[in-house]
Amino acid sequence: MLANLALTVSMSVTMSVAASDDAVKKSLHPTEHKIIQHTNRERARHGLRPLKLDMRLMRSARRHAKWMTRSRNLQHTSDMVGENIAMGQRDSREAVVAWMNSSGHRANMLHQGYTKVGAASYTTADGTPYWCIQFLR
């Protein structure tokens, strides 16, 4: 499972004001909501503030997860964001647990400077899920 994880970290770049109202949350796929929910639970367990949903990061994570799924290529985005990606985990909890069990991914998940998040997952026709979560200050 950990062999299918990848990680990148880039600092700076400010994107739009984080959005967290009910209308935005309703636009999330349940899997996207669960990725963020599990991530924020892990942050809370470590005394960190929850990350706020950012629609630009959501679009970016969706675009990148879709690209990885279509190309069947586990590769990081060239965007200047903190990012965890994975392939093959069966559900959002399994993806977050895998990231938390990897020191570099865990560092992204628990980075106290990050305040914004976007996440997505797409699945190939044969059932292989690709996961992407992105972070910004």
Take residue 137 and report the two structure tokens written for it. Answer: 């200050």
Q: How sure is the predictor about 22, in pLDDT bands with cuts at 50, 70 and 90?
A: low
> Which of 60, 50, 21 lies closest to 114, judged by CA?
50
Q: How much is the CA Rg of the chain, to the nearest whole Å? A: 13
Q: How far apart are CA 83 and CA 6, in angstroms?
A: 9
User: What pLDDT, in 10s, does the model give residues 41-59?
Assistant: 999 999 999 999 999 999 9
Question: How many helices (H) and strands (E) in the chain?
Answer: 5, 5
Residue with tokens 């630009």: 56
Is the confidence at residue 11, as pLDDT, over 50? no
> Which of 112, 121, 117 lies closest to 135, judged by CA?
117
User: What pLDDT, in 10s, does the model give residues 74-111?
Assistant: 999 999 999 999 999 999 999 999 999 999 999 999 99
- Residue scoring higher pLDDT (28 or 10): 28
